[in-house]
Amino acid sequence: MPYLPAGFPDGAWLPDVVVELGEQFAAHGFELSLVGGPVRDLFLGRTSPDLDFTTDATPDEIIATVHGWADAHWDIGRDFGTIGIRRGDDTIEVTTYRAEAYDLTSRKPQVHFGRDLGDDLVRRDFTVNAMALRLPSLELVDPHGGVRDLVAKRLRTPATAEESFSDDPLRMMRAARFASQLGLEVTDDVREAMTAMSARLEIVSAERVREELVKLICGQYPRRGVDLLVETGLADVVLPEIPALRLTDDEHRRHKDVYQHSLQVLEQAADLETDAEGPVPGPDFVLRFAALMHDVGKPKTRRFESGGGVSFRHHDVVGAKLTRKRMQALRFDKESIRAVSRLVELHMRFYGYGEAGWTDSAVRRYVTDAGDQLERLHRLTRSDVTTRNRRKAARLDHAYDDLEERIAVLAEQEELAKIRPHLDGEQIMAVLDVPPGPTVGKAYRFLLDHRMEHGPIPEDDAVELLRSWWSEQAT
């Protein structure tokens, strides 16, 4: 049965495997402690999905200790002292006491194994993660006041902040991530070190930075995390497009700068996420990141008009290109890049609907262009309304309600998500008696445009329409 360590809040429990593994190591004469995030989460009244352990045993000794007890093990992290273990449904990692440090030019940490739990804890990133539970006794080891800091919602480093961030510059990103996930405030010395050492983040691989960024954006308080990145200069390294927004007034002067507007859109988009059964289960990185990046094209497209106003024509298209380039630099997968950049490109498409109204053709194109991002586009567009003018906000909200209703009606009538030309390629070649080639492509696009403009028509009418178009091409 699960264990509830003494002194922890209700809801904090440990699976059987934790104590069983401690007993296994003790029987072989080795120390073992649950460490880091899982211990922190116990104080937050929740169970961590990850089980991380530290020990004085070397990787070879770890393997020998769990031999016959574990169902499987793997040593892909052996160079860093980590051995993966599976027992039943539990997957855990055991790491030899260690210390890591970067030199000034390397992207890879230098690893040194140790034999003392205290030395291991002092090298960890923050005090709230520098706590351990000795096993199997469940004795709490908290030499740096992690519990006090967690209660005070304070983020400190066990060693000096400069030493900690020099050992691993990615920890500066983690500070912003914990501000987002846990609502923690960094101490003055941590903030000062992050600001002074922000350029050191450049030596960390894009993949590691990306993973921290995703966790930050998906946190409970993403605005806090982004703000900390910008205020310390880390965003100049990771997302330079975001601090650039602080220099750009929006065209309606509703905000001090577009930066604050973008943070508000990010928060509002997160509020519109659904539960697991809905179309956009939260936290949804694609929606949130598109909300943050949706206006990054404005600095490059800002123009001062003769009447004293400011315009940002085509900032949606420019922003999509900048977003795609930034996500490629951070080594995001192609699907995420496609989805986020598409949302950024389409986020202005709705505007004008309320005043001018849209034809059925325009509604079809809106749905078709959004494709599988339609539900996210609905939420991004609604989130982009941050005006303090209640009448205008209500008008835009009602207009989008109307658009969604029209989409629903057309979708029921025409299967909007599956819009295709009246005839497929094989039918086109048969009607025109032509082989595969450019002509078929032109005919396909003509029929698709007609479908968008006029809706579905019977197949016989489509054949006559195609023949008429073809005769015009020959003249």
DSSP per position, 179-199: HHHH-PEEPHHHHHHHHHHGG
Find, among 167, 93, 172, 178, the residue nearest to 129 by Cα. Answer: 178
Residue 280 lies in a domain: no
Domain boundary among 128, 147, 166: 147
Let me know whether 362 and 466 are in one domain: no
Angle 121-123-126 from CA coordinates, rounded to 5°:
80
Compute the distance between CA of residue 70 and CA of residue 270 in angstroms, rounded to an integer: 41
Q: Give the pLDDT confidence score for residue 108 in this predicted structure.
A: 60
Residue 130 lies in a domain: yes
Compute the distance between CA of residue 96 and CA of residue 189 in angstroms, rounded to an integer: 30
Let me know whether 292 and 393 are in one domain: yes
Residue 320 lies in a domain: yes
Q: Which residue has the tokens 């020959």?
A: 474
Cβ within 8 Å of residue 125, ≥6 positions away: 157, 164, 168, 171, 174
Domain boundary among 147, 179, 204: 147
Residue 96 lies in a domain: yes
Let me know whether 383 and 315 are in one domain: yes
- Our count of domains for the chain comes to 3
Compute the distance between CA of residue 376 and CA of residue 282 in angstroms, rounded to an integer: 11
Domain boundary among 392, 417, 442: 417
Find, among 142, 130, 227, the residue nearest to 177 by Cα. Answer: 227
CA 155 to each of CA 251, 339, 360: distance values in angstroms, whole numbers, following the listed order: 38, 34, 54
Q: In CATH, what number is assigned to the domain containing residue 89?
A: 3.30.460.10
Contact 120, 98 (CB under 8 A): yes
Residue 425 lies in a domain: yes
At 185, give phi and psi (nearest 5°): -105, 130
Q: Give the pLDDT confidence score for residue 458 in this predicted structure.
A: 83
At 99, give phi and psi (nearest 5°): -140, 135
Residue 41 lies in a domain: yes
Residue 174 lies in a domain: no
User: What is the helix (H) or strand (E) element at residue 93, kind and residue range?
Assistant: strand 90-96
Q: What is the CA radius of gyration of the chain?
A: 28
Let me know whether 424 and 406 are in one domain: no
Let me know whether 369 and 459 are in one domain: no
Let me know whether 379 and 336 are in one domain: yes
Let me know whether 96 and 66 are in one domain: yes
At 14, give phi and psi (nearest 5°): -120, 135
Tally: H helices and E strands in the chain: 23, 13
Which domain covers residue 360, as residue numbers? 285-417
Find, among 127, 134, 238, the residue nearest to 186 by Cα. Answer: 127
Q: Give the pLDDT confidence score for residue 254 in this predicted structure.
A: 47
Let me know whether 387 and 460 are in one domain: no
Let me know whether 117 and 78 are in one domain: yes
Tens-digit pLDDT string for the chain (475 aa): 455 555 666 656 788 899 999 999 999 999 999 999 999 999 988 877 788 999 999 999 999 999 999 999 998 788 888 999 999 988 999 999 986 555 655 556 566 777 789 989 998 999 999 999 999 999 999 999 999 999 999 999 999 999 999 989 999 999 999 999 999 999 999 999 999 999 999 999 999 999 999 999 999 999 999 999 999 999 999 999 999 999 765 555 544 489 999 999 999 999 999 999 999 999 999 999 999 999 999 999 888 877 767 788 899 999 999 999 999 999 999 999 999 999 999 999 888 665 666 788 888 888 888 989 999 999 999 999 887 778 877 877 888 888 888 888 777 665 555 566 667 788 888 888 888 888 888 888 888 778 777 777 788 888 888 888 888 886 6
Q: How many CB atoms lie within 10 A of CB 367?
A: 19
Let me know whether 86 and 136 are in one domain: yes
Let me know whether 346 and 395 are in one domain: yes
Q: Is the peptide bond between 38 and the residue preceding it cis, with omega within 30 degrees of 0?
A: no
Residue 65 lies in a domain: yes
Q: Give the pLDDT confidence score for residue 352 in this predicted structure.
A: 65
Compute the distance between CA of residue 364 and CA of residue 47 in angstroms, rounded to an integer: 46
For 278, the 3-state DSSP assignment is coil
Let me know whether 424 and 319 are in one domain: no
Compute the distance between CA of residue 125 and CA of residue 401 in angstroms, rounded to an integer: 47
Which class for 435: exposed (0-12), middle (13-18), buried (19 or more C-beta within 10 A)? exposed
